[in-house]
């Protein structure tokens, strides 16, 4: 049976010679979202444009015409093209970039490839994504040696970049002091004291750093933290799940992380199930196997095939049968972004709306932004360019964290037990999705409730206003039904922090 004749409907295709519609609700026609759904959460699952979804769908049918042909013949060149386009975007060589289904998978590939020794340290943060934290725990939980020791650096927001950097550096040094009986001589290739001979290496320290943490959704000074790692002889694994398509001007060749990971399906308009694992050539030897292990694994014991600079990419070409249309349609995602004006234009719009929308939302809710120093952070970057790698580095975030109009506790458990936190999260989720047809991520952090709004090119200020209305009502219901308070007629109570706004 011939495959269905897939003719794109009007908004599943675009004429790249024509000007695109303006940013805002006019762009919703190119998105598969429900017309009346207010999506302020592309940060979680991403939203891909209809033309990309169409390209992936068409490719999926195309594969089925002669499955063997695609897998043996066509697949590899398409994959290489997709890898090249990503490599260009992040300042890497094509063979330093491979695709995996998602950031957690990429992170697991790196951490599970390290050969852990007794005495090694594996360091995360309290604000890291919990599957990453769990991966660290799992490795440390091994019943017998060999296994690393796990530590989590604590960050309680709000914090400035300078504060984060200070905490980070001092914690790293503290860990080394605490374990002064160990020899952390297994340092990464760019660090002082690096030697190639494995016999001379004893213990290592590996740190997982968020570029943009998940909840709260804040930009970390990760480039500085990578530099500090290098100075301290510590391996840096950057969980940049949110970075590609949100953070501009990433040049990994310059910044020099040891490993870097990002989700293309969050902000880059790729189909779900596409993430990038970047490993610079100097560290390829660490990644002995893909996860799962595939046909191209090179066993040192067998000796017939030797590893070279293409091995890392070859390992990851095929790691088992799966739907690879998400990898291969990356060029379609990038073409659409180009048509909209390119990375800078997209991010300028989204960043501005994130800041303004967040402020507006905080006013409606009578609360505050987490990033009260948002002005300060941007200014700090501009005013003190010597702290940044390039003087024109504008750290732009497309997410904003706004406090919810719910009581704040000053000691853990004062108001919110674990069950209450769960109950409130469930209530928020169901009310927002079912009743209000709107969504933003919500979470409990350092005694207070927050929502994280992410902004895309199809959002406008009115989306924040609608969400604000929804949250006010839902939080009132939560106070009455779960916290069993009588809610005052002046709800929400205005916070003094409004002065900042």
Q: Please give the residues from 178 up to 207 whose contact with another protein meets the rule CB under 8 A.
A: 198
Nearer to another protein, 138 or 427 (CB): 138
Among the listed residues 247, 259, 217, the one whose alpha carbon sits nearest the alpha carbon of residue 128: 217
What is the per-residue binding string for another protein in 259-298, x denoting contact by CB under 8 A?
A: ----x-x-----xxx--------------xx-xxxxx-x-
Choices 98-106, 207-215, 242-250, 410-418 (CB under 8 A): range interacting with another protein: 98-106
* Cα radius of gyration (the chain): 24
- 131: contact with another protein by CB under 8 A: yes
- 160: contact with another protein by CB under 8 A: no
Restricting to residues 49-78, name those near another protein by CB under 8 A: 50, 53-54, 56-57, 60-61, 64-69, 71-73
- 35: contact with another protein by CB under 8 A: yes
Rounded to a whole number of angstroms, the minimum distance from the CB of residue 316 to another protein is 13
**Binding another protein by CB under 8 A: which of 301, 392, 488, 490?**
301
Nearer to another protein, 50 or 90 (CB): 50
Nearer to another protein, 143 or 383 (CB): 143
Among the listed residues 408, 414, 431, the one whose alpha carbon sits nearest the alpha carbon of residue 477: 431
- 3: contact with another protein by CB under 8 A: yes
Contact 40, 438 (CB under 8 A): yes
Choices 102-110, 175-183, 373-381, 460-468 (CB under 8 A): range interacting with another protein: 102-110
Q: Distance between CA atoms of 351 and 459, rounded to whole angstroms? A: 11
Size of the site for another protein (CB under 8 A): 92
- 33: contact with another protein by CB under 8 A: yes
**Binding another protein by CB under 8 A: which of 16, 17, 18, 143?**
143
3 state DSSP class of 328: helix
- 417: contact with another protein by CB under 8 A: no
Measured in degrees and rounded to the nearest 5, phi and psi for residue 315 equal -55, -35
**Binding another protein by CB under 8 A: which of 22, 26, 29, 501?**
29
Nearer to another protein, 224 or 463 (CB): 463
Choices 142-150, 210-218, 246-254, 373-381 (CB under 8 A): range interacting with another protein: 142-150
> 189: which 2 tokens?
């290739």
DSSP string, 156-183: -SS--HHHHHHHHHHHHHHHHHHTTTS-
- 101: contact with another protein by CB under 8 A: yes
- 46: contact with another protein by CB under 8 A: yes
For the chain, give the longest Cα–Cα distance.
78
Rounded to a whole number of angstroms, the minimum distance from the CB of residue 382 to another protein is 34
Which region holds residue 159: left if phi is over 0, alpha if psi is between -120 and 50, else beta?
Answer: beta
What is the per-residue binding string for another protein in 370-389, x denoting contact by CB under 8 A?
A: --------------------
Measured in degrees and rounded to the nearest 5, phi and psi for residue 18 equal -90, 150
- 311: contact with another protein by CB under 8 A: no
Contact 347, 130 (CB under 8 A): no
- 363: contact with another protein by CB under 8 A: no
Choices 37-45, 367-375, 376-384, 475-483 (CB under 8 A): range interacting with another protein: 37-45
Place of tokens 């180009």: 338
Contact 270, 329 (CB under 8 A): yes
**Binding another protein by CB under 8 A: which of 102, 246, 262, 399?**
102
Choices 8-16, 76-84, 216-224, 364-372 (CB under 8 A): range interacting with another protein: 8-16
Measured in degrees and rounded to the nearest 5, phi and psi for residue 159 equal -140, 150
- 445: contact with another protein by CB under 8 A: no
Rounded to a whole number of angstroms, the minimum distance from the CB of residue 86 to another protein is 17
Nearer to another protein, 300 or 489 (CB): 300
What is the per-residue binding string for another protein in 319-358, x denoting contact by CB under 8 A?
A: xxxxx--x--------------------------------
Beta strand 205-210 with 441-445 is: unpaired
Three state DSSP letters for 86-141: HHHHHCCCHHHEEEECCHHHHHHHHHHHCCCCCCCEEEEECCCCHHHHHHHHHHHC
Nearer to another protein, 268 or 395 (CB): 268
Beta carbons within 10 angstroms of residue 203's beta carbon: 18
Rounded to a whole number of angstroms, the minimum distance from the CB of residue 449 to another protein is 18
- 430: contact with another protein by CB under 8 A: yes
Q: Tell me 369's DSSP state.
A: B
Which helix (DSSP H) or strand (DSSP E) does residue 265 occupy? helix 264-267
Choices 133-141, 174-182, 332-340, 380-388 (CB under 8 A): range interacting with another protein: 133-141
Rounded to a whole number of angstroms, the minimum distance from the CB of residue 45 to another protein is 4
Return all residues near 5 (Cβ < 8 A) that are at least 6 apart. Answer: none
Angle between helix axes 343-365 and 330-340 (nearest 10 degrees) is 80
- 127: contact with another protein by CB under 8 A: no
Q: Distance between CA atoms of 326 and 264, rounded to whole angstroms? A: 9
- Distances 35 to 29, 299, 350 between C-alpha atoms, Å: 8, 53, 20
């Amino acid at each position: 049976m011939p495959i269905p004749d897939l003719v794109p409907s009007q908004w599943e295709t675009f004429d790249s010679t024509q000007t695109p519609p303006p940013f805002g609700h006019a762009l919703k026609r190119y998105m598969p979202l429900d017309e009346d759904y207010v999506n302020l959460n592309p940060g979680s699952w991403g939203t891909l444009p209809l033309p990309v979804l169409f390209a992936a769908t068409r490719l999926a049918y195309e594969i089925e015409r002669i499955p063997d042909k695609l897998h043996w013949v066509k697949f590899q060149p398409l994959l290489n093209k997709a890898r090249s386009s990503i490599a260009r975007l992040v300042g890497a060589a094509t063979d330093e970039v491979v695709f995996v289904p998602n950031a957690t998978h990429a992170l697991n590939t790196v951490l599970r490839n390290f050969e852990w020794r007794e005495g090694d340290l594996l360091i995360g943060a309290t604000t890291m994504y919990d599957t990453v934290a769990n991966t660290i725990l799992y490795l440390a939980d091994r019943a017998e040696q060999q296994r690393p020791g796990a530590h989590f650096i604590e960050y309680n927001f709000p914090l400035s970049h300078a504060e984060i950097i200070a905490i980070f550096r001092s914690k790293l040094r503290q860990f080394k002091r605490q374990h002064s009986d160990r020899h952390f001589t297994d340092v990464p290739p760019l660090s002082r004291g690096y030697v190639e001979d494995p016999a001379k290496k004893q213990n290592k320290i590996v740190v997982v750093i968020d570029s943009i943490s998940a909840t709260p959704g804040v930009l970390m000074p990760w480039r500085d933290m990578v530099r500090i790692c290098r100075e301290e002889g510590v391996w840096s694994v950057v969980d940049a799940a949110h970075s590609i398509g949100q953070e501009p001007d990433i040049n990994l060749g310059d910044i020099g992380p040891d490993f870097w990971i990002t989700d293309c399906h969050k902000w880059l308009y790729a189909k779900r199930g596409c993430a990038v694992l970047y490993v610079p050539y100097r560290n390829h030897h660490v990644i002995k196997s893909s996860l799962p292990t595939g046909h191209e694994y090179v066993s040192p014991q067998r000796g017939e095939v030797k590893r070279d600079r293409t091995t890392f990419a070859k390992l990851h070409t095929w790691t088992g049968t799966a739907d690879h249309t998400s990898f291969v349609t990356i060029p379609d995602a990038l073409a659409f972004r180009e048509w909209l004006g390119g990375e800078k234009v997209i991010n300028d719009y989204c960043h501005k709306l994130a800041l303004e929308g967040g402020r507006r939302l905080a006013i409606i809710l009578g609360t505050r932004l987490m990033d009260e120093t948002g002005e300060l952070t941007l200014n700090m970057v501009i005013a003190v360019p010597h702290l940044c790698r390039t003087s024109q580095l504008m750290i732009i975030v497309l997410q904003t964290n706004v406090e919810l109009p719910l009581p704040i506790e000053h000691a853990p458990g004062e108001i919110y037990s674990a069950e209450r936190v769960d109950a409130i999260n469930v209530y928020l989720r169901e009310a927002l999705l079912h009743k209000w047809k709107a969504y933003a991520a919500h979470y409990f952090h350092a005694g207070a409730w927050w929502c994280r709004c992410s902004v895309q090119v199809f959002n406008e200020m009115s989306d924040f206003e609608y969400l604000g209305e929804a949250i006010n009502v839902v939080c009132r219901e939560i106070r009455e039904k779960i916290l069993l308070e009588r809610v005052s007629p002046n709800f929400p109570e205005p916070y003094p922090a409004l002065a900042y706004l």
